[in-house]
Amino acid sequence: MNRYPLWKSLLFAGVMLLALALALPNVFGSAPALQLSRKDGELFKGVGAAQPFLDQLAREQVTPDASFVEAGRVVMRFADVPTQLKARDLIEASAPGAYAIATTFASRAPAWVRAIGLKPMSLGLDLRGGIYLVYEVDVDGAVKQTLQRLERDYRLALREKKIQYESVEGGAGGIAVTIKDPTKLEAAKSALAAVDPDVTLAASEATLRATLSEAQVKKRQDFAIQQNITALGNRVNALGVSEASVQRQGANRIAVQLPGVQDASEVIRLLGKTATLEFRLVDQTGNALEAQQTGRPPLGTKLYKERNGRPVLLKREVIVSGEQLTDATSTFQQGEPAVSIRLDARGGEEMLRTTRENLGKPMAVVFIERERQLRDQGGQKVAIDVTKEEVINTATIRGVFSNQFQITGLTGREGQELAKLLRAGALAAPVFIVEQRLIGPSLGQDNIDKGMRALLIGSALLFAFMMAYYSAFGLVANFVLICNVVLLTACLSLFGAALTLPGIAGIMLTVGMAVDANILIYERIREELRLGNTPHAAIKAGFEKALSAIADANFTTLIAGVVLFLFGTGPIKGFAVVLSVGILTTLFTALMGTRTVIGLFWGQRASIKHLPV
């Protein structure tokens, strides 16, 4: 007899039972849903958290198919998209700005499946529908912002060391610092070097020139891209979008995928907004109207406009900038909308020093927003970078404060939006949309239907061929292929990998490659039978001699899959994940699964005259 070890058979059976359980949620499919999270950061708790929303919708005769709390968020599932969008509008109207409401999809799996923690595969953008955006990062703007920050920090460092200077001016090539007393040039150089040791400082008479090398410029550009990825990710989370993807694409681009999101205008408006704040003292000695007419503000000042169009002169020295903010929340002060600001330690110290030294003097809050606009120049569309700077609030310093205070002068919506942008983190460099695609859920479902149809047709033809060519052993191969697909689905569900259209192609390729292993084994068994070996010896030799060929073929393909994952982006990564996991499940099912089934039906017999192969 050719018995297969019992523990290996039990291991295969146990793994497949577990795989069936993990893959089960994928059978039920998904439906349009709303995902609600609180904007104040608090989590929904308990089964009754969704009841107020259900009562509100019931009054408008809108009834969800199911509702539950998941990861601190209320999820409500609906029968169709129109009902989903109507429910979203009703909830937004009842409590504007209180909740982040994401339009998404939820599994139709019954409550007991969710209760034991089973989840279906997440679907990618091309299958679920949603928004695909590609942003280009203005890396030159990142270097310019770095020089502006250094210019501000240099002024502060010289003031702290009590070194008087005539000017600190930034330009395209760097920053020029002119010292009033040439004998303090070395002291000034040491103070500036402490601000950023990586910056190259060159002394000439009473002037220090700070420049960045090519390597330092490249380093700051890469940092800006990574910081923007983090900031965009935070903004996506603030919107309440689940299963979103924010990844670098190429040298200076960022790809954002938002599966299930259907409201493109709100997302695009908030994601790419480069908004920050600056706090400056108002200059009370100069004439703002005269500076506006002549176009030449007094030395050490900068001309701005308030929201009503009135000009105002502010001092060039920035007290605190948006990058020093650690938290921002929208609130109300004396019945008016306000934004509560919290600063980091350095920003708090500077604000404390400024308010202590300038009691009774006015301080302004400058709102800065950058965007790229397309304008006609010579009959061609040319991208122009536009920076909007306006004073949103001017108030007299009545008391000393440091790292916690409030700003007013905003509408309720502006306050909520500004707080969200500041809390998510300022973009390190402006970003501009270079590609935008809105994929509807119907198109995503069409992709699923076509992909599944191709998989079923391909599998049916493959099954027919294996049964016709290998008889009963072909049935075994077909059963093992089904086990392989179930195990692959279970792994993707367990690891939370997103299934995309290329991922479906990866499953089809896995099925095709998996049958190769069975063919190698069966052809080896046929060869052993032709050499005159007994059926039991042929089975044993077939598996042993085919093992090296199967391992080599799959290992080389696995290397290709790993390389695709490491260097590919977006859909290529999805294909690589499915292919790599599929190779591992193929090795398990083809070697252990096929041997288990053949051992069960033919290995138990004392003598076999003929193998149906």
Look at residue 62 and give its three-state secondary structure: coil
- Check residue 384 and give its pLDDT: 67
Q: What is the pLDDT of residues 101-148, one digit of tens each?
A: 777 777 888 888 877 878 888 777 777 777 888 888 887 777 777 787
pLDDT of residue 23: 87
The type of residue at 584 is L
Q: Specify the pLDDT at position 420.
A: 65
pLDDT tens per residue, range 217-276: 888 788 888 878 877 877 777 665 656 778 888 778 888 888 766 556 667 666 766 666
* 140: helix, strand or coil: helix
In this prediction, residues 80-100 reach a mean pLDDT of 80
How many whole angstroms separate alpha carbon 489 and alpha carbon 479? 16
Lowest mean pLDDT among 22-36, 49-63, 210-224, 404-418: 404-418
The reply to whether the predicted model has a pTM over 0.85 is no
- pLDDT greater than 70 at residue 604: no
Q: What is the pLDDT of residue 313?
A: 92
CATH architecture designation of domain 275-408: 2-Layer Sandwich (3.30)
Rounded (10°) CA dihedral 353, 358, 359, 361 = -140
Q: How high is the pLDDT of residue 524?
A: 86
* Nearest alpha-carbon partner for 515 in 594, 579, 574: 594
Mean pLDDT over residues 473-497, rounded? 86
Nearest in space to 223 (alpha carbons), one of 143, 151, 278, 153: 143
Closest CA to 30 of 122, 96, 130, 125: 122
Count the neighbouring beta carbons within 10 Å of the beta carbon of residue 503. Answer: 27
Cα of 92 vs its chain's centroid, Å:
25
Q: 327 or 565: which carries more pLDDT confidence?
A: 565
Collapse the DSSP code of 511 into the 3-class scheme (helix H, G, I; strand E, B; otherwise coil) and give the result.
helix
Which structure tokens are listed for 505?
Answer: 């192609």
Using DSSP's 3-state secondary structure scheme, residue 471 falls into: helix
What lies within 8 Å, CB to CB, of 159 at 6+ separation is: none
Q: What's the one-letter identity of residue 396?
A: T
Question: Is pLDDT at 183 greater than 70 in this prediction?
Answer: yes
Confidence of residue 371 (pLDDT cuts 50, 70, 90): low
Structure tokens that stand for 318 in this block: 């920035």
Report the pLDDT value the prediction gives residue 269, as an integer from 0 to 100: 62
> Is pLDDT at 593 greater than 60 in this prediction?
yes
Which pLDDT score, from 0 to 100, does residue 440 have?
Answer: 65
Tokens read off for 1: 């007899």
The whole-angstrom separation of Cα 498 and Cα 477 is 28
Contact 34, 62 (CB under 8 A): no
CA dihedral 252, 257, 263, 267 (to 10 degrees): -40
Residue 232's contacts (CB-CB under 8 Å, 6 or more residues apart) are 135, 246, 254, 256, 271, 427, 431
3-state secondary structure 187-245: HHHHHHHHHCCCCEEEEECCEEEEECCHHHHHHHHHHHHHHHHHHHHHHHHHHCCCCCE
Which pLDDT score, from 0 to 100, does residue 314 have?
92
Residues 6+ apart with CB under 8 A from 452: 504
To the question of domain 6-25+443-603 being in CATH 1.20.1640.10, the answer is: yes
* Residue whose C-alpha is closest to residue 525's, from 557, 547, 555, 502: 547
Give the helix, strand, coil percentages of the chain, each rounded to 5. Answer: 50, 25, 20
Looking at domain 30-108, its CATH architecture is 2-Layer Sandwich (3.30)
Instruction: Give the other-Cβ count within 10 Å of 237's Cβ.
Output: 15
Fold (CATH) for 139-215: 3.30.1240
Q: For the CA atoms of the chain, what is the radius of gyration? A: 33
Please name which of 120, 115, 94, 95 lies closest in space to residue 105, comparing C-alpha atoms: 120
pLDDT band at residue 41 under the 50/70/90 scheme: low
Report how far residue 344's alpha carbon sits from residue 321's, in angstroms, rounded to the nearest whole number. 11
Q: Does 374 score more than 60 pLDDT?
A: no
Show Cβ contacts of residue 14 under 8 Å, excluding neighbours closer than 6 positions.
none
What does the pLDDT read at residue 242?
A: 58
Domain positions in the chain are 6-25+443-603, 30-108, 139-215, 275-408
Mean pLDDT of 595-605: 76
**By the 8 A CB rule, do 466 and 417 touch?**
no
What are the C-alpha distances in Å from 485 to residues 19, 22, 23?
10, 12, 10
The one-letter code for the residue type at 464 is: A
User: Residues 210, 199: contact at Cβ < 8 Å?
Assistant: yes
Averaged pLDDT for residues 168-194: 81
Task: Give percent of the chain with pLDDT exceeding 90.
Answer: 2
Helix, coil or strand: residue 99: strand
- Cα distance between residue 212 and residue 198, in whole Å: 8
Q: Which of 42-51, 376-385, 462-471 has the highest mean pLDDT?
A: 462-471
Above 60 in pLDDT, residue 1? no
> Which residue has 């290998």 as its token pair?
470
Using the predicted structure, report yes or no on whether residue 193 has a pLDDT greater than 80: yes
**Amino acid identity, residue 434?**
V
Cβ contact 195:158 at 8 Å: no
Pairwise pLDDT comparison (76 vs 46), residue with the higher score:
76
Tell me the residue type at 126.
Answer: D
CB 518 within 8 A of CB 594: yes
Residue 98 above 80 pLDDT?
A: no
With tokens 């089975």, the residue in question is 539
pLDDT value of residue 300: 83
CB contact at 8 A, 594 and 480: yes
Of the candidates 366, 409, 104, 396, which has an alpha carbon nearest to the alpha carbon of residue 258? 104
Cross-strand bridge partners of residue 131 = 258, 438
**Contact predicate 190/218, CB 8 Å:** no
pLDDT for 263 equals: 59
Instruction: Measure the CA–CA gap between 541 and 520, rounded to whole angstroms.
Output: 12
Residue type, 344: D
* Residue 55 pLDDT > 80: yes
Mean pLDDT over the full length of the chain: 80
Whole-number pLDDT of residue 610: 73
More confident residue, 35 or 464: 464
> Is 80 exceeded by the pLDDT of residue 171?
no
